[in-house]
Amino acid sequence: MPWSLDELGRSDEVDMAYAEGQALPRNLSKPTTKLDTALWPVRVFIAPDCKNPVIPDYTKGPAIGVVVVSAAFRQLVESLDPLPHHFIPMHITFPDGRVQTDTHFIFKLGQFVEGGIIPEQSEIRVNMWQGEVSHYGATTLSPRLMWRAEAVAGRHIWADRHLPATVVVSDTLFARMKAQNMTGFLAIEGRIA
């Protein structure tokens, strides 16, 4: 069974923000927006009032829609998934002046699944524009999704093109995440038909 990963609303979130003076695109929060390598690493700072500045393995980033992952998560994804994905390096400054590099990355999927979700068996609504599906909208805070087996066969991490902000991992990847005690996310069980 697949697992949707929700990075928001967790007790172990770390409050971070982009450092000023970076020429980052306004739409960086969109799952489909890639970042030119000339803008790497993305500089962020941890809020001074952050009580426990330990960055989880899969968590919200400096803006809603930006997912931050650990080097350990990156290694798992790269060892299992057949497709390349984007891991944008971060330069993180902590309130005590400590700096971390190469420990966490902004994560972007390399490719989206086309027609992977079975809408009538999932907690979503189909939004149309000029007779075509424009996107799916969740009907609950943490929607359960039914996936077409042939659309996700061989994949270990994915999202549907019409619901790109909902990242899903395979049972195999999820088991390895649990075995490594990865933190920072809520996992919502899905199904494959």
Predicted pLDDT at 160: 96
Residue 7: its pLDDT value, please? Answer: 81
Full DSSP string of 131-149: TEEEEEEESSSS---EE-H
Q: Domain map of the chain by residue range?
A: 10-108, 119-192
Mean pLDDT of 56-75: 94
Phi, psi of 178 (to 5 degrees): -65, -40
CA distance 17 to 4: 25
Q: Taking all residues of the chain, what is their mean pLDDT, rounded to a whole number?
A: 92
Identify the pLDDT of residue 125: 92
The pTM of the whole model exceeds 0.85: yes
Instruction: Examine the pLDDT at 11 and tell me if it is beyond 70.
Output: no
Kindly tell me if the per-residue pLDDT of 82 is higher than 90: yes
Residue 148 has a pLDDT of 96
C-alpha closest to that of 8 among 67, 52, 92, 53 = 67
CB 116 within 8 A of CB 167: no
pLDDT band at 9 (very low <50, low <70, confident <90, very high): low
Which one is predicted more confidently, 109 or 9? 109
Cα→Cα distances 153→24, 169, 172, Å: 35, 12, 13
pLDDT tens digits along 135-177:
898 888 888 999 999 999 999 999 999 999 999 999 999 999 9
For residue 117, the model assigns a pLDDT of 96
Tens-digit pLDDT profile for residues 13-30: 788 999 999 999 989 999
In this prediction, residue 64 has a pLDDT band, given cuts at 50, 70 and 90, of confident
